[in-house]
Chains A and B, each alone.
Chain A
Amino acid sequence: MMILITGGSACGKSSHAEEICLQGPAPRFYLAAMQPYGEEGLRKVVRHRLLRKDKGFETIERYTDYASLELPSGCTALLECIANLTANEMFDENGNRSDPVDLVLAGVEHLASRCGLLVAVTNDVGSDGIRYEEGTEAYIKALGTINAALAARADTVIEMAAGIPILWKGEMP
């Protein structure tokens, strides 16, 4: 079972994803793809950790290459988030660029094959109408392609708006 959760910034994606995972089989893993840059990044990590506290997740920080992550068969995993993972697969620390689409999709496919329940959180970054420099434009396009492919693969797709889930595909968990 794979569930994709999308939506803009601060719309309640994480807490809804966590609630869904609580219904999934143990053990539960939180797969953190965000590299915490600076104080703001650390604040975000702390905030998310507090949200997850007492929910029984084991946290695995991993920024790339989910295709080779070993997880016990039939577990529950919350992958957060596809937008970070895409950026990490696309740009290395020296600013070199690769095509992230196949890397991200292979990683998620591997997780989906291992997990009894996989909840993947992604982000909608393409709706601000601003024209960015070429690298950012390529990132927006890659993430859109990845989101569409993940939605096609997922059993259920949910968009969050102001903390309210909107069902786009499948059934509400």
Chain B
Amino acid sequence: MVLILGGAGSGKRAFAQSLGYKEEEMSPDVFSDAPVMTDLEETVRNDPAGAAALLGPLCQKELVLCREVGSGVIPLAAEDRRFREETGRLCVQLARRADAVVRMTAGIPMILKGEMPCARS
């Protein structure tokens, strides 16, 4: 499993495509058969209490795309704070288990762990 992080619009999906994954192989539903999980932060937003239980199924994916959401002013609403914390902690757990971790900045991938994933043949 390769974890792909980055802020909104940083190029996570385009990077997944550059590795040879088609749009129809990507899904925001963790329980779909798609090899690529997108928008992980939205799943956490909808059910922050269920974040830890996602770890197992996510490790079965080939790619997991998650927006980094922790780099702003601490939100006033408790549920927004909870969402940010749970997303961050889940990413720490995913990164620990991932074969590679890539962080996108302005469309440029930075390898944080492992090796640059090869494009599928």
Interface flags for A117-159 (1: CB within 8 Å of B; 0: not) read 0000000111111101000100110000000000000000000
Assess the A9–B73 pair: CB atoms within 8 A: no
Assess the B71–A124 pair: CB atoms within 8 A: yes
**In the complex, A127 Cα to B7 Cα: how many Å?**
9
**In the complex, A8 Cα to B84 Cα: how many Å?**
9
Chain B residues numbered 47-87 whose CB sits less than 8 Å from any CB in chain A: 68-74, 78, 81, 84-87
Report the interface size for chain A: residues with CB under 8 A from the other chain: 23
State whether the Cβ of B2 lies closer than 8 Å to any Cβ in chain A.
Answer: no
Assess the A8–B94 pair: CB atoms within 8 A: no
**In the complex, A162 Cα to B88 Cα: how many Å?**
7
Q: Which residues of B contact A40 (CB under 8 A)?
A: 78, 81
Interface flags for A1-33 (1: CB within 8 Å of B; 0: not) read 000000111111000000000000000000000
| Main secondary structure on A side of the interface with B | loop
State whether the Cβ of A67 lies closer than 8 Å to any Cβ in chain B.
Answer: no
Question: Closest chain B residue to A140 by CB distance?
Answer: B73
Assess the B85–A9 pair: CB atoms within 8 A: yes
Assess the A163–B95 pair: CB atoms within 8 A: yes
Q: Interface residues, chain B, CB within 8 Å of chain A? A: 3, 5, 7, 68-74, 78, 81, 84-89, 91-92, 94-96, 101, 103, 110, 112-113
Name 13 A/B residue pairs within 8 A (Cβ), A-sorted: A7-B70, A8-B69, A9-B74, A40-B81, A125-B73, A127-B7, A127-B72, A140-B73, A161-B68, A162-B92, A162-B103, A162-B112, A164-B101
